[in-house]
Amino acid sequence: MPNCPKCEKPVYFAEKKTSMGLDWHSGCLRCERCNKTLTPGSHAVHQNKGYCHKPCYATMFGPKGVNTGGDSYSYTQK
C-alpha cells in the first residue's frame, strides 16, 4: 500500500491519484503553498510535496538570476 506523500497515510485504490510517480489521495493532490487543486502530471513536486508550477514552484524554487547570458554554460557546445 503506497502512502500519500502529503498526509503520509495509506492510499487505497479507490481514492488514489497517481501523479509524478507518487500516489496521492485525490483530496491531497493540492499545492502545498496556495492549496489549489493540482492536475495529475502537470505540477511540480519538491521533497514529496506538490506545488503548482506557477506561481508557487517558480517563486519558491525557480531559477533566480540564472539567465546571465550563458557565458558559463552553452547548449550548443559539443
> Amino acid identity of 27?
G
Distance CA 7, CA 26 (A): 12
If one asks whether residue 38 binds Zn ion (CB under 5 A), the answer comes out as no
Question: Cell triple for residue 53?
Answer: 508550477
Give the span between the Cα atoms of 2 and 24, in whole angstroms: 9
Nearest distance, CB of residue 61 and Zn ion, angstroms: 12
49 forms bridges with which residues in the sheet? 46
Of residues 22 and 28, the one with the C-beta less far from Zn ion: 28
Is 4 an interacting residue with respect to Zn ion (CB under 5 A)? yes
Q: Which is nearer to Zn ion, 64 or 78 (CB)?
A: 64
Binding residues vs Zn ion (CB under 5 A)? 4, 6-7, 25, 28, 31, 33-34, 36, 52, 56
